[in-house]
Structure 1
Amino acid sequence: MAKPDSFFLTTPIFYVNDAPHIGHAYTEVAADVLARWHRQAGDDTWFLTGTDEHGQKILRTATANGVEPKEWADRLVESSWKPLLNTINISNDDFIRTTEPRHEAGVAKFLQKLYDDGHVYAGEFEALYCVGCEEFKPKSEIVDGTGEFEGQKVCAIHSKPLELLQEKNYFFKMSAFQDRLLALYEERPDFVQPASARNEVVAFVQQGLEDLSISRTSFDWGIPIPWDDAHVTYVWFDALLNYVTATGYGANDEEFARRWPGTHIVGKDILRFHAVIWPAMLMAAGLEVPDHVFAHGWLLVGGEKMSKSKLTGIAPNEITDTFGADAFRYYFMRAISFGHDGSFSWEDLAARYQAELANGFGNLASRVLAMNAKYFEGRVPEPGEELAADAAIRELAASAATRADAHIEAFAIHESIAAVWELVDALNGYITEQEPWVLAKDPAQRDRLARVLYTTTEGLRALAVLLSPVLPEATAKLWFALGAKETLGALSAQPIREAGVWGKLVPGTTQHSLAVLFPRIETEAKE
């Protein structure tokens, strides 16, 4: 038996200075859909997420709340960040915290290797620093302040004044890797995706790389530099290493070899860290660079990026409490082109819930199972002769499955769902055209009725498999109602790349009543 393909997928690890909003949840869901798809395809999948708990921003937040930074991190992780994963039904295999011993030990080992191999030196540094970004800002992201910040230099991302820091630091010789990075982008054009992100990264590196300050002495909340404990590790240098410390670097060589390299899903505002600094770090340590870095766009509310500081943050449960986790997952994966910015509105969410989920998919499933119960005693019908209309559905199921998988491989989650939804729409149209309720009135059309309902029922079987990474709760209910578990096994065990292979449902299988997949939402959409 061939060894399954390895697929190691990560989200960024998120700062615990505040509770998560739907922008964080959007990243989590996108990665979860990809992980569930690959897992169900039989790939050796490992999905990692977690929290970033060091640095000046966390220290200041904790101090402002009158607690130690570790206590603050513990509180936020347990009360907000881990519960988020349940709220939106995330299937992560691991959760890494940068305050864990396994991470701190791996960071120390990595730093020591870079130092021993001559990639780190001591020096002095003075530059404008953004605490929100935890970064010395490049000139391209420094702008003149306006309003209350007029006359000051502010961060182009956070719109807050920058701080002039002067420290004696240790530096990573990142400039030495400029040519190797440009060669990487040239040789592997899909390393950074989408193309717009790749072009941005290439242009940035072509302008010339400077060495990177990787330690701080002005505060002590961080991982000590192993050869000089007067310094703590720069929070980004610490955080990026989570991807290897969580998979065994320095502790479990076999596990590390199995998992690494990985694929990173990140927001476009942290692209440079992952596509420039991170591969340079790995090159210096003699490790493989990631398979891919995919930068998605921002969620916009009222034309602005989702932000707690700008009061545009929306808590995920504000949506899931009304619409449910499946609808949350579907909406953000379908309504926004993955890789581009997208706007959120309550009106669009409510409209898509009703038209696409409740009326489109949910009503299709309930109608078909109700007709099977009424006309075939709640069993999968024995199909009669296949006609052209039936063959068209069978062929579309195969085509949709193939195209959906290809889109997932290209990180085009929205296109993958759109391909599958062609089958939803086609089945609804097929029922309208074939009129099984009319066929049922004519005993001479009994075989034709059986073929029509077998075709729609088998179509639902394919949809249950193909949509399970996006709609895990609804498809589990549908799978049970189809009676498929008894003959085909658990939904999670169905090879997703074979979902379009026709004729898997066994005629005569007893079906069950279907729980409502997408209940009517009585409350009006929020303004």
Structure 2
Amino acid sequence: MTQAHRYITTPIYYVNGAPHIGHAYTSVAADVIARFHRLDGKTVRFTTGTDEHGQKVEQAAQAAGIATQAFTDEMSQGFRVMSDAMGISYDDFIRTTEPRHKASASALWERVRDNGHIYLGAYEGWYALRDESFYSADEITERPDGTKVAPTGAPVEWVREPSYFFRLSAFEDRLLKLYEDQPGFIGPEGRRREIVSFVKQGLRDLSVSRTSFSWGIPVPGDPAHVMYVWFDALANYLSSLGYPDVSNPLMAFWPADLHLVGKDIARFHAVYWPAFLMAAGIELPRRVFANGWWTIEGEKMSKSIGNVVDPRDLIAEFGLDPIRFFLLREVPFGGDSDLNRRAIITRLNVELANDLGNLVQRTLSLIARNCGGVLPARTAPTEDDAALLAMADALPDLLRGCVERCALTEGLEDVWKVIRACNAYIDRMAPWALRKTDTARMAAVLRVLADVLRTIGTVLQPYMPDTMARLLDQLAVPAEARALTALQTRLPDGLELPAPQGLFPRYVEPAA
């Protein structure tokens, strides 16, 4: 893969339940990263999709009283609808029930097996159906009611069945060397420390097949077994590129630049996945980054409580871009976040409507009224002008660094520092007063503001694509001049601007 290529993935979402705000959060974050790389001139492959095999899916379909494939078709479509509603600009939506994925996962299995890393045995141990994962005895705790649970809180039961095993224990030293040599392989730092600690405690060989249910990909050469759901699911990152067909042009995108995942599945992506790839002799992804969880009004999301939030409900009330903004603004990306109504309204009204929306409205209305609706000519900048323009000119590089580090909230703060500086500048320069005393200086101030707003609108496109497109429309920025490199060329003097229109209306609570 060349430096001009970027391969970004969300996890593939498990279809035993409906999509919720946690799924939307990960997808929006990955979308911002993918859009930013496109804006920066990179060729991007961005994938998402659904994980559709396993015992939980089989049981959920039985509970719903419909055939398993029909159940997965319906549930997968729900995740596709969610992705589209959130404005996710994916290049591929992969399903693990597709023939191309089954072929890819089977080829990966055969390669790992042929390299001597899979063997047949029998497994017994503590198994959590909810997690589709086995746990060691020292990870199990007992609740007061006698229920034994995994570290995730999922109930476990003792299971014994014949199983194929992956020689995970053979990769302990290689994994620890990976984490040491490439400290950025796992992020954020807290997750990295947890994974390193887990591996240092010692790895046992991993059960990678099941005979107790049939809804899965048959093990090559032994159809009485189906692949363990995680061996199957993780292969999606290769099957989306056409693996094992190395002649497929999409294989040029491997290795993945970023697997963005929820923190609950960090272990699978940062331990099992690189070990599978090492066993297959396939190059490793460059980074696994695990985002945090969302609570709702301070409480954990739970079907039993009834507080699971459908992101489409939030969009219907507040609008798509304000919700995309809120999800990545509220808490530093990578940590846990709380979704509460008051915080959404505050972010929308204070930072979007007041800070940015009002700044745009004031600037463009003054140009419309006092400059004949055309972009004023650039003049030699004063010290104040130069300081503000320099802040704006630094944004592309600042955002590049933030995106590379998955510091998406920090990126927004960098932009908002410039927005706050613009508001201080317009209040200090008072172009509405200059109109009466120095029209040339008034025009110069408005031109500086217009140039800075163009930069702000450009770098915020990945976060709020629809609204920033409208901002750039109002600045008469041509479609071909909206990439980061285009900022090196200023807009021409005398450009006719359309009539200004509000971007972010203030949110007013409906009357009770």
Q: TM-score, normalised by structure 2?
A: 0.96
One-letter amino acid matched to 2:236: N
Q: Distance in 1 between matches of 2:384 and 2:102?
A: 61
Structure 1 partner of 2:116:
118
Are the aligned partners of 1:461 and 1:505 in contact in 2 as well (CA < 8 Å)?
no
Deviation at residue 113 of structure 1 after TM alignment: 1.5
Q: In structure 1, which of residues 393, 396, 399 is the aligned counterpart of residue 394 of structure 2?
A: 399
Q: Distance in 1 between matches of 2:97 and 2:399?
A: 39
Residues 231-251 of structure 1: CA deviation (Å, up to 9, x unaligned): 111111100000011112113
Q: In structure 1, which of residues 512, 515, 518 is the aligned counterpart of residue 498 of structure 2?
A: 512
Structure 1 partner of 2:507:
521
One-letter amino acid matched to 1:463: I
Are the aligned partners of 2:48 and 2:94 in contact in 1 as well (CA < 8 Å)?
yes
Deviation at residue 196 of structure 1 after TM alignment: 1.3
One-letter amino acid matched to 2:483: P
Structure 2 partner of 1:108:
106
Matched, 1:319 2:307: no
Q: Distance in 2 between matches of 1:371 and 1:462?
A: 19
Q: In structure 2, which of residues 421, 442, 448 is the aligned counterpart of residue 449 of structure 1?
A: 442
Matched, 1:472 2:465: yes
> Do the aligned partners of residues 520 and 388 (structure 1) sit closer, same or farther apart at CA in structure 2, a change above 3 Å counting?
same
Q: In structure 2, which of residues 192, 216, 226 is the aligned counterpart of residue 222 of structure 1?
A: 216
Q: In structure 1, which of residues 297, 306, 324 is the aligned counterpart of residue 301 of structure 2?
A: 306
Deviation at residue 428 of structure 1 after TM alignment: 1.1
Deviation at residue 47 of structure 1 after TM alignment: 0.7
Deviation at residue 295 of structure 1 after TM alignment: 1.0
Deviation at residue 256 of structure 1 after TM alignment: 4.7
Aligned to 2:265, what secondary structure does the other structure show?
helix
Pairwise mapping of residues 114-513 of structure 1 onto structure 2 (< 5 A)?
Answer: 114-139=112-137, 141-146=139-144, 150-157=145-152, 159-262=153-256, 263-308=258-303, 310-442=305-437, 445-485=438-478, 489-490=479-480, 494-496=482-484, 499=487, 501=488, 504-513=490-499
Are the aligned partners of 1:478 and 1:514 in contact in 2 as well (CA < 8 Å)?
no
Residues 152-179 of structure 1: CA deviation (Å, up to 9, x unaligned): 212332x343122110011111111111
Deviation at residue 313 of structure 1 after TM alignment: 1.5
> Do the aligned partners of residues 195 and 60 (structure 1) sit closer, same or farther apart at CA in structure 2, a change above 3 Å counting?
same
Are the aligned partners of 2:38 and 2:44 in contact in 1 as well (CA < 8 Å)?
yes
> Do the aligned partners of residues 325 and 140 (structure 1) sit closer, same or farther apart at CA in structure 2, a change above 3 Å counting?
farther
Q: Distance in 1 between matches of 2:253 and 2:303?
A: 34
Deviation at residue 446 of structure 1 after TM alignment: 1.8
Q: Distance in 1 between matches of 2:105 and 2:155?
A: 31
One-letter amino acid matched to 1:143: T
Higher deviation after alignment, 107-116 or 53-62: 107-116
Are the aligned partners of 2:6 and 2:44 in contact in 1 as well (CA < 8 Å)?
yes
Are the aligned partners of 1:436 and 1:449 in contact in 2 as well (CA < 8 Å)?
yes
Residues 409-429 of structure 1: CA deviation (Å, up to 9, x unaligned): 111001111101111111111
Structure 1 partner of 2:27:
28
Residues 268-313 of structure 1: CA deviation (Å, up to 9, x unaligned): 1111100000000000000011100111111122444434455331
Aligned to 1:513, what secondary structure does the other structure show?
coil
Aligned to 1:474, what secondary structure does the other structure show?
helix
Deviation at residue 498 of structure 1 after TM alignment: 6.2
Aligned-residue identity in percent: 42
Q: Distance in 2 between matches of 1:99 and 1:231?
A: 17
Deviation at residue 473 of structure 1 after TM alignment: 1.0
Q: Distance in 2 between matches of 1:184 and 1:160?
A: 30
Q: Distance in 1 between matches of 2:14 and 2:168?
A: 25
Q: Distance in 2 between matches of 1:466 and 1:525?
A: 37
One-letter amino acid matched to 1:197: R
Deviation at residue 76 of structure 1 after TM alignment: 1.5
Are the aligned partners of 2:148 and 2:156 in contact in 1 as well (CA < 8 Å)?
yes
Residues 185-228 of structure 1: CA deviation (Å, up to 9, x unaligned): 11111111111111111111111111111110011000000110
Q: Distance in 2 between matches of 1:416 and 1:57?
A: 39
Pairwise mapping of residues 37-52 of structure 1 onto structure 2 (< 5 A)?
Answer: 37-52=36-51
Structure 1 runs, 4 residues or longer, greater than 4 Å off: none
Q: Distance in 2 between matches of 1:205 and 1:472?
A: 41
Residues 461-496 of structure 1: CA deviation (Å, up to 9, x unaligned): 1011010000111101111111111xxx34xx5332
Q: Distance in 2 between matches of 1:16 and 1:475?
A: 33
Q: Distance in 2 between matches of 1:128 and 1:97?
A: 29
Aligned to 2:10, what secondary structure does the other structure show?
strand
Q: Distance in 1 between matches of 2:120 and 2:415?
A: 56
Q: Distance in 2 between matches of 1:247 and 1:382?
A: 49
Deviation at residue 128 of structure 1 after TM alignment: 1.6
Aligned to 1:96, what secondary structure does the other structure show?
strand
For these two proteins, the number of residue pairs brought into alignment is 511
One-letter amino acid matched to 1:170: Y
Alignment gaps of 5+ in structure 1? none
Structure 2 partner of 1:11:
10
Are the aligned partners of 2:395 and 2:459 in contact in 1 as well (CA < 8 Å)?
no
Alignment gaps of 5+ in structure 2? none
